[in-house]
Structure 1
Amino acid sequence: MLNISENKIINKLDLNEYTAGKRVFNRTHFEYFNRFLFGFSIVLLIILFMPWTQTVNGNGAVTTLTPEQRPQTLQSPIPGRLEKWYVREGDRVRKGDTILQISEVKSEYFDPLLVERTGDQINAKINSVNAYGQKVEALTQQTGALASELLLKLEQAQNKIKQARFKVTSDSIDLEAARTNIDIAQRQLVREQTLQDEGLKSVVDVEQKRLKLQETQAKLISQEQKLLQSRNEVINARIDINRLEQEYAEKIAKAQSDRFSAESAQLDVAAQVSKLENDRSNYSIRSGMLFIVAPQDGYINKAIVSGIGETFKEGEPLVNIMPANYDLAVETFVDPLDLPLLYVGEKVRVQFDGWPAIVFSGWPNASYGTYGAEIVAVETFISSNGKYRVLLAPDETDYEWPDALRPGSGAYTIALLDDVPVWYELWRQLNGFPPNYYQPTDASGTVKTKK
């Protein structure tokens, strides 16, 4: 059986005499097999030269085209306690509809009449501002009155100075007259003494002249004293002017100081009024935050804080809402090696989870169950998963996407690149080379650039 013996059984037996031998040795099946191999080789050779569309594959999910159309969570801007729900999960809400009610947990906001009481404080402070304004006006008038009185007093003092100067002039004239009288009296006394010596006048006449001279001297001394008094009156009048200026300067300074103090207090109270008005506005706005309302039309997806009486911090998510109106898109992720091959406006085929499809990666026209898309944005910074995010919008020239498609569904994307022969694609895949780098052209023939 192993054909190791020197006695060849084939020389002793004729296998064609047996039925099995006739069936085996007389068949020509190898000729058909050779024909099949030859035909398959020709078909394979033709296939190797057929066009193959290079692709960049990626996995992603269905999303919305604009950020405001994506699912969002509603947060409370203030800490609070859940009081009442007005909706259920799955309910449709319109913009402005109340979703839930909360209450305050901070003691400084417990007063239900906080806004009204703050308004009363504002009114009291406004009255205080008006009172200070009236005080400032009164002090201003007082300052003006003091200035007018000072002018009158100074005018009166100037008149006194003029009167004193006139009196000094009059006393000076009287003093000169007294001096002239002394000279006359002295000359008369000398003449009387001379006449007495000659025996023409008596002693009584001489004594009278001497007495008159003494009286004239006394008048001169008195007149000098009056002149000094008049000069002192001028000096006193000047001192009075300085005293008046000093006195009224102090009064005016005190009135101005009081006015400045009143103005400062008025400004301080006005600042308090402004702060209280700010507090009242904040309290009013905060009271409106006790009701969480829908920011847009949508559906309630999930209540995150659900129990009545539960407390939460500011910024903590309360409920998840999905907008009712949205434009579908697909976000997919590609490797950094394939990023230079993707351009805004490039055509992409998308296969959605749950929709049956037959996909031929290199022959997109022969695929079934895929939908057309177009690149609208390419992320310029790498994502946390080590890939770049690409946003796709529906291709208006292709079939419409399914109506039952919802954001969050999985999607498999195939970006269509350059057309190459099949043999080149096999060679590229075996060597691990990237797809051909190329720049697509638009309808006018110009080269597209990345945006």
Structure 2
Amino acid sequence: MLNISHNQLNKSVDITDSKSGKRVFHSNYYKYFNRFLGGSAILGFIILFLPWTQNITGRGNVTTLTPDQRPQTIQSQIPGRIEEWFVREGAFVKKGDTIIRISEVKTDYFDPKLVERTTKQRDAKALSVESYQGKVKANDVRISALISERRLKLEQAENKLIQAKYKVESDSIDLEAAKTAIKIAETKYNRADSLFKDGFTALKNVEDATVKLRETQAKLISQNNKLLASKNEVINAKVEISRVNVEFSDKISKAESDKFSAQSSQFDTEAQVTKLDNQVSNYKIRNGLLFVTAPYDGYINKVLVPGIGQTFKEGEKLVGIMPANVDLAVETFVSPIDLPLIHVGEKVRVQFDGWPAIVFRGWPNVSYGTYGAKVVAVENFITLSNGKFRVLLAPDEDDQKWPKDVRAGSGAFTMALLDDVPIWFELWRQLNGFPPNYYQPETATNKTAKKK
């Protein structure tokens, strides 16, 4: 009680002789308390030398090991209008199941018989290609015929040239004979004239020699004319050869020009056929895109463009989907000061949000509710605004399996296990703000070097 009066009870009443007073004010009470303090000090000193596993903690979330197993959204490759839904949120779909049926919104594709009509255009162009091919073949036959005719005409003209040359040679010989004959006739005339003047022969012999001379001269002139005519035939034969070459070269050139024109039209039409083939294939594929299907087995998460009759653009997100079969992983984040302590393949303990756990950070072996993991990837640069590096963890095959009901996106608490040190060293490190012991994990190469 408070001493609010001048009548003090403790001075007037002695409680040391009471039962409780004997127990409290006895000297043994201090002895027991001192023993308790001494035992606690000894126990605390012993605890300071117990092993403590250094660790790096971090917060993260559950994800998947490979990118193709992570939640994604389904988009349409073409713009359209929603006509019918075949699923609801939370439904399970198999790969290839139809999710949405859409319709066209572009006027270029409104025609329901677009593929059929485009196919007919392609077939008509294909027939045009065949016609041009026939025209090219006809021109090839025509060119071959002209080449054969030119060869025959040239042989005929060359034969005429040879005949003309032989005739020139024959007329030249006849001319030489005529020249010889006129010399003989002149000699006979001169001899008859001399004998007539000397009176040894009759005038009739002179006149006969004169007639013979005139006949021989006429034959010489005629033979000259024949020779000139023969030479003229040689020239005409050469002109004929040149004319045949020119005429048939012109005809063959014209036929080749028609052939090349037909080939050009053929190639142009073939290009149009190829373009129409491409359009037919595109239209068929586009018709298949009017049904949005599931890319794999999974669950529909959330519809992003609800309703019927709503339009959307190409590439716009329509619905979210989560794969049914995934390899779970955990992404956690560590500070830059702790990054040198993280290595691929190291052991990590993981506590999932929603699963009961009793965690002793320094003694992971006596913790309950944590699961084993190992480091599979360490980010080389900071990509997030939190200033930390991302570390990807996969389940440890040597430890117990992760809970099957864990879902991607759940939270997780991670502890990367480092060296074992005494508790006094860990307390000293924490008080001074030093990082955990830097170390390199032992590899096969390091172990071999140590043995040597």
- TM-score, structure 1 as length reference: 0.88
Aligned equivalent of 1:409:
410
Q: Distance in 2 between matches of 1:120 and 1:386?
A: 63
Q: Distance in 2 between matches of 1:199 and 1:308?
A: 149
**1:90 counterpart = 2:90:** yes
Measured after TM superposition, the shift of residue 55 of structure 1 is 0.6
Q: What per-residue deviation string (whole Å, max 9, x for no partner) do you get for residues 158-208 of structure 1? A: 110111112112211221222223223222322332343244555455344
Q: Distance in 1 between matches of 2:312 and 2:76?
A: 9
Against the structure 1 CA distance between its residues 178 and 396, is the aligned structure 2 distance closer, same or farther, given a 3 Å change threshold?
Answer: closer
Matched residue SS, 2:133: helix
Measured after TM superposition, the shift of residue 128 of structure 1 is 2.1
Q: Distance in 2 between matches of 1:372 and 1:244?
A: 99
Aligned equivalent of 2:325:
325
Q: What per-residue deviation string (whole Å, max 9, x for no partner) do you get for residues 57-78 of structure 1? A: 0111111222222211111122
Q: Distance in 1 between matches of 2:321 and 2:56?
A: 34
Against the structure 1 CA distance between its residues 147 and 444, is the aligned structure 2 distance closer, same or farther, given a 3 Å change threshold?
Answer: closer
Q: Distance in 1 between matches of 2:381 and 2:351?
A: 26
Aligned equivalent of 1:8:
none
Matches within 5 A, 1:8-407: 18-19=13-14, 26=25, 28=27, 30-199=30-199, 201=201, 203=203, 205-384=205-384, 385-407=386-408
Deviates more, 1:293-302 or 1:344-353: 344-353
Q: Which amino acid aligns with 1:438?
A: Y
Matched residue SS, 1:19: coil
Runs of 4+ in structure 1 over 6 Å off: 13-16, 442-445
Against the structure 1 CA distance between its residues 414 and 405, is the aligned structure 2 distance closer, same or farther, given a 3 Å change threshold?
Answer: same
Q: Please say if residues 71 and 320 of structure 1, whose CA atoms lie closer than 8 Å, have aligned partners that are also in contact.
A: yes
Q: Which amino acid aligns with 2:408?
A: P
Q: What per-residue deviation string (whole Å, max 9, x for no partner) do you get for residues 269-326 of structure 1? A: 2233223222222222222111111111111111111122222222221110111112
Q: Please say if residues 344 and 375 of structure 1, whose CA atoms lie closer than 8 Å, have aligned partners that are also in contact.
A: yes
Measured after TM superposition, the shift of residue 143 of structure 1 is 1.7
Matched residue SS, 1:230: helix
Deviates more, 1:277-286 or 1:222-231: 277-286
Matched residue SS, 1:129: helix
RMSD: 2.7
Q: Please say if residues 441 and 447 of structure 1, whose CA atoms lie closer than 8 Å, have aligned partners that are also in contact.
A: no
Q: Distance in 2 between matches of 1:264 and 1:47?
A: 97
Q: Which amino acid aligns with 2:401?
A: E
Q: Distance in 2 between matches of 1:166 and 1:403?
A: 113
Q: How many positions carry a matched residue from both structures? A: 436
Consecutive unaligned residues in structure 2, runs of 5 or more = 1-7
Against the structure 1 CA distance between its residues 71 and 14, is the aligned structure 2 distance closer, same or farther, given a 3 Å change threshold?
Answer: closer
Q: Distance in 2 between matches of 1:268 and 1:381?
A: 56
Measured after TM superposition, the shift of residue 20 of structure 1 is 6.3
- TM-score, structure 2 as length reference: 0.88
